[in-house]
Amino acid sequence: MLIPRRDFLNQLFVAPFLAKLMAGSARRVPTLLRGGRVFIGRSLQPRDVGINEAGRIVLDATEGDEVVDATGKIISPGFIDILADNSRGVLSTFQKYKISDGVSTALELHGGTGNARWYYAALAQRRQLVNYGASTKLMLIRGRHYSLSGRVREARACLEAGALAVSHSIEYQPTPFEELVAYAQLAREYDRPFFLHLRHSDRARELDGVTEAIALARQTRARVHISHLHSTGGTFAMEKALDLIRAARAEGLEITCCVYPYSRWATYLASTRFARGWQERYGLDYDDLTVVGTGERLTAAKFARYRGRHGLLVAVPEGSMPLDRTVDLALKEEFCLVGSDGGIEYARHANSHPRGAGCFATALQRAQRTGLGLEAMLWKLTEGPCALLRPNLDGRGRIEDGAWADLTVFDPAKVSSPATVENPNQYSQGIDAVYVNGRMAYKDQRFMESAGRAIRAVRTST
């Protein structure tokens, strides 16, 4: 059968042209980041990244209504802070210091909330700069109930309401092992991690805390995450702590940990960590303690007077946790992630560890200095947390077609943090822009759209 000449010409010339035109329009996006190195598949690749109307990623888009020149920059999934706690002050202040550090998702999983239903409802009342979510906070729940059954019931209610994990700090609120088993079994039932601040942090007993966490995982098969291992569990014997975790993982247990890239810890002076005998436990004295935000050094008299103040943070000397013998060793392990363990609560009253403002910029800078490398570190800030919190961060932490456009653009040569113990309230440097759910939320130290969303757990059980 003969084809009419007009139809033949259409098939030969017009149809391919229309197909190419339609394909091109399909790759046109409102925002196109061009010329940067993109973190994909654990490597940095020269790619273009588009953001469509729905706030999703379109890889290799060809045209954009707005084209952002990312030459010389790295385009990464937005950083995920799994230990973004201490947001009790003005929430917008807390989130500003997170997003200026490249964080697009700030999760309060070291502490969290004792009422997840209230937490998510309260934060939904106004728009947030970053994505947010929380764990149960057993320290709060235990204070409201004397019976274990009541405590478990309220923790279960938090998980039903979408809490992302179970969390407890047994150094600050000592708890019998048998009770911890009940909480770990609950975490196992809902297939959510159990974030644990270990029982001991002194030279003599810190490894006992690591062993206890492993025993908890072995008995319940729960996923156990050890918060800031280098300040609680591996300060004095990190190599041995890591050996214990490696052996447990080889046994089939899922044990993970995190660190923050600083060589000094800080905590509240009123806490149990400064109970009688603290000088012997840590090899410190009164004048080794500095009030965060002022630089004031303590004396015995000031220690006694300030001990009764609620919320006063003090820091130990620089080098108390030598980076080369603690943080650097831990970060070589894939099971070790990065979590800030804090945040900037108040803009004027600067009583927060500098990790609350500059954890992630400092981690990137440290990775380049030590040879760990940007690729290895970026995985710990993005995809690693998603694996830990599976499946509740699906669609985030990766740059791939259809993923949420949570993106951080930074200059690897300039990324750093000026935040100090004396003046922690300083924005990180080298973080050019942060997109949250496809909206530019931060650019050149200016705060833009508030497009953060709630991160809640989906109901799963084992």
* Phi, psi of 269, deg, nearest 5: -60, -30
Confidence (pLDDT) at 14: 43
Alpha-carbon distance of 116 to 112, in angstroms, equals: 8
CATH 2.30.40.10 placement within the chain: 29-78+397-414+429-448
Can you read off the two tokens belonging to residue 46? 């020269």
Question: Which of the residues in the chain have pLDDT under 50?
Answer: 1-25, 89
| Contact status, residue 131 vs residue 106, Cβ threshold 8 Å | yes
| Contact status, residue 121 vs residue 158, Cβ threshold 8 Å | no
Confidence (pLDDT) at 11: 45
CATH 3.20.20.140 placement within the chain: 79-263+321-392
pTM, whole model, 2 decimals?
A: 0.92
| Contact status, residue 333 vs residue 242, Cβ threshold 8 Å | yes
Confidence (pLDDT) at 26: 53
Confidence (pLDDT) at 311: 82
| Contact status, residue 70 vs residue 33, Cβ threshold 8 Å | yes
Confidence (pLDDT) at 61: 92
| Contact status, residue 461 vs residue 191, Cβ threshold 8 Å | yes
Q: pLDDT tens digits for 208-247?
A: 999 999 999 999 999 999 999 999 999 999 999 999 999 9
Can you read off the two tokens belonging to residue 154? 């309220």
CATH topology of domain 29-78+397-414+429-448: Urease, subunit C; domain 1 (2.30.40)
Degrees (nearest 5) of the Cα angle 312, 315, 319? Answer: 175
Instruction: Pick left, alpha or beta for residue 404 (phi over 0 → left; psi -120 to 50 → alpha; otherwise beta).
Output: beta
- How buried is residue 307: exposed, middle or buried, by Cβ count under 10 Å (0-12/13-18/19+)? middle
Confidence (pLDDT) at 9: 40
CATH topology of domain 79-263+321-392: TIM Barrel (3.20.20)
